[in-house]
Amino acid sequence: MSDDDSYRDSYRDISVHKMMLMDVVRTEAYERALRQMVKPGHKVLDFGCGTAVLSMFAARFGADTVYAVDRSAFITAARAIAMANHIENIRFYHDDHTSLVLPEPVDVLVSEWMGHFIFHEAMLEPLVFLRNRYLRPGGVMIPDQIRFIAGFVTDESFYEELCFFRQNPYGIDFSPVAEAPLYQTNLEFFTPSQISKTLVDLGSMDLYVVDATPEVLEGAARPKRKETVYGLAGWFSARLTPNICLETGPNDPPTHWNQMFFPFKEPLTLDPAREVTVRIRPPKPIGKGEDTWSWTVTDGSTLIQMDDEYPFDPIATVGLLGA
Ligand SMILES: C[S@@+](CC[C@H](N)C(=O)[O-])C[C@H]1O[C@@H](n2cnc3c(N)ncnc32)[C@H](O)[C@@H]1O
């Protein structure tokens, strides 16, 4: 890794790992999945091993060899943790997915690679790269499928907070930036009462065959009743095995992923007479195009189009001020 990369290596910090391991819903779901899928003699690749918690589960459930891979300098701590637990069949690789060289294909590829609303950490392409290179034919992916869901936010307070600058706080006209907060995604923890019963299925991704970040997540639903909504909440369900799913929605036990809030610039009234269509464009992987979210919702009569690159150009404004 370059100095620049290590500077940006947020996974050096124990607090990030503590936060993930304190997410019992997440960690125990992976533990159950590994207990079900790892068979004695298996070779397992743990991509992005962090503390090596998943590697140690795999070793505990009978794996012959576990290849634990992480580009973070924290891997030194992971190795020490495995030694403290007297586990000797984990081989550690301080590598990026591109530099990794394993001696053999694996039976199981496990990874907790999912960022906020999946695409925030851009680990999908590296995972696909390693799957293509190292998963033996008929091998197992954990997770093997991701489903995307959007709900409509009915609680006005989330919207009101984002409209703060519209009220000229302190008697100052903030209009040049007043709309900007509405164009940003935010992580929120929604309760079931803050989300409409009308949910939109945005489709799913099969991790055995997917080869790139999808261009767009799209789905439609017939509203169950007339109601005013202020934005979208996006979350995912990760299928770890055919009968173990890790759910991250407002109706599920909380996880560290929360939900992603995609606000609207103006409220929208859902009407059972009009089917509503949602489109969410994820950011492109690093260096491959727009790295911002964009989202639209339409019921055929109203179209709300949002892009988390707010159409306010500070450079142009400075230019104007200087003229
Ligand atoms: C979400 S954490 C999961 C950590 C651990 N598996 C767990 O479940 O607690 C993702 C890990 O992947 C590593 N990582 C991200 N991208 C990587 C890449 N391209 N190559 C190697 N490691 C990567 C990060 O350094 C981080 O430790």
Where do we find the tokens 């030694």? 83
Q: Which residues are catalytic?
A: 112, 121
Which amino acid does the sequence have at 257? Answer: W
What is the model's pLDDT at position 91?
Answer: 98
Q: Which residues contact 51 (CB under 8 A, 6 or more apart)?
A: 17, 21, 74, 77, 78, 81
What is the model's pLDDT at position 311?
Answer: 63
Write out residues with Cβ below 6 Å of ligand 1: 11, 20, 48-51, 53-54, 69-72, 96-97, 112, 123, 126
How many angstroms does the Cα of residue 70 sit away from the middle of ligand 1? 6
Q: Please write the tens of the pLDDT for every residue from 255-303.
A: 999 999 999 999 999 999 999 999 999 998 777 777 889 999 999 999 9
Q: Helix (H, G, I), strand (E, B), or coil: what is residue 111?
A: strand
E strands, 191-301, are 195-206, 217-221, 227-241, 244-247, 259-270, 276-281, 294-298
What is the model's pLDDT at position 323?
Answer: 38
What is the model's pLDDT at position 3?
Answer: 41
How many angstroms does the Cα of residue 314 sit away from the middle of ligand 1? 35
The residue whose C-alpha atom lies closest to atom 14 belonging to ligand 1 is 48
Q: Please write the tens of the pLDDT for every residue from 166-213.
A: 999 999 999 999 999 999 999 999 999 999 999 999 999 999 999 999
What is the model's pLDDT at position 322?
Answer: 44
pTM reported for the whole predicted model: 0.93
Q: Provide mean pLDDT across the span 44-64.
A: 98
